[in-house]
Copies of this chain bind each other. A is one copy, B any other.
Amino acid sequence: MGQKVVGTGARAGAPVVCVIGGGQLARMMQEAAIALGIELRALVEADDGSAAQAIRYSEVGSADDRDAIVAFTAGQPVTVEHEHIPSPILREIGSRPSADALIFAQDKLIMRSQLDAPHPRWHRAESRAEIDAAIAQLGGTAVAKTPRGGYDGKGVAIISSATDIPWTYTDGDQILLEEKVPFDREVSQLVARRPSGEIQAWPLVTSVQRDGICFEVTAPAPVPRALHEKAEAIARRIAEQTGVVGVLAVEMFAVGEDLVVNELAMRPHNTGHWTIEGAVTSQFEQHLRAVLDLPLGDTAPLAPWSVMVNLLGSELDDPREALGAVWEADPGVKIHMYGKEVRPERKIGHVTVTGDDLEQVRARARAAIAILEGR
């Protein structure tokens, strides 16, 4: 497409928030930033990518290029799209969340060994022999995880022996081995924390994965009140311990009345997309408020039930061609498209439906996704 000489749209005086590694989260954050008169700036991978399409003040640069990041952020408040930014750079630019907080989301071994929260049984191993010993201690089967860099099911495998590891493993590499938790359901607790200490929690949600990728989220979680309270207490404690600034997502396994932490994310999270329509304050607006140390917003749900379903790839060349078909069937479905090309199992959009009847709401969201998937 055409290249033009144009400005950044910047105007002196606007509150500024920079995002490193802009993708669909920065794109959705921009909707909130526009409303609030905040100037969002994104350091993006591609000039026509998901964030860059939507953010006037975009610049191409790598999320590990120290010089590019320092020049781009220029002392302004800065947050991150993902966890894969080196700590020294985060420290230099004073990122929110900080390098010291983000390390808990970046490194699963640090999370397991240092986080004050209920964990599954786990072992650290550094050789094939230690891996097999750990598997034996965990009952013959274990979940192996690379401490860093995994996401959406990548870098995670269920193994019965060191030889089962599906990625290149070299003795000396650290690896995390966890019990395979016999969970009843997966839940996610989102909270936000601002530098001055205020923490606000959204209702607990349940999530359903498909091939290790979040597929469907139900808010609030249809579980007993006690589990909601337990989850919120765990997430608040983690927020305080880590000193996170912005949104914190604590993904947990529910086993009976117990919860154990599975993963952390310190940014708006897939299990919080329902808040765009489903809560007074969306996770994207809340993240901006937290990063700017402004009072946090009301997290109350707006409807009895919200269900979000991800669009993971599609049989269609461009699912946006199916907007009309979705709305022909159901004019009340809220559709979010990320401006990404279709690839198998890639998160390219989501839908949210809110309403009074959970089964109906879920059926409507699934039916919309089926149309967008071209099934």
**Chain A interface residues toward B at CB < 8 A:** 1-15, 27-28, 30-31, 34-39, 47-48, 52-56, 58-59, 276, 280-281, 289, 294-298, 300, 302-303, 318, 320, 323-324, 327-328, 331-332, 334-339, 349
Contacts and interface: CB of A to CB of B under 8 A. Distances in A.
Count of chain copies? 2
Contacts of A289: 327
A308 to B, nearest CB: 13
B320 A54 contact: no
Nearest to A328: B295
A32 to B, nearest CB: 8
22 contacts: A1-B8, A2-B8, A2-B10, A3-B6, A4-B8, A7-B47, A10-B53, A11-B53, A28-B34, A34-B53, A35-B276, A35-B334, A35-B335, A36-B335, A37-B338, A38-B320, A54-B56, A56-B58, A294-B327, A295-B328, A297-B327, A302-B302
A295 to B, nearest CB: 4
Contacts of A7: 1-4, 47-48, 52
A294 B323 contact: yes
Given A34-B27, A35-B31, A327-B295, A9 B332 contact: no
A357 to B, nearest CB: 15
B1 A10 contact: yes
Contacts of A30: 34, 54
B13 A318 contact: yes
A219 to B, nearest CB: 15
Contacts of A55: 9, 56
Given A6-B6, A31-B34, A331-B296, A339 B14 contact: yes
B11 A336 contact: no
Nearest to A46: B11
B336 A298 contact: no
Contacts of A39: 53
Given A302-B302, A324-B295, A34 B54 contact: yes
Nearest to A60: B6
A320 B15 contact: yes
B54 A14 contact: no
Contacts of A54: 9, 30, 34, 56
A291 B67 CA distance: 44
A37 B6 CA distance: 22
A261 to B, nearest CB: 28
Contact of A280 (B14, B332, B336): B332
Given A34-B30, A294-B324, A327-B295, A8 B6 contact: yes
Nearest to A4: B8
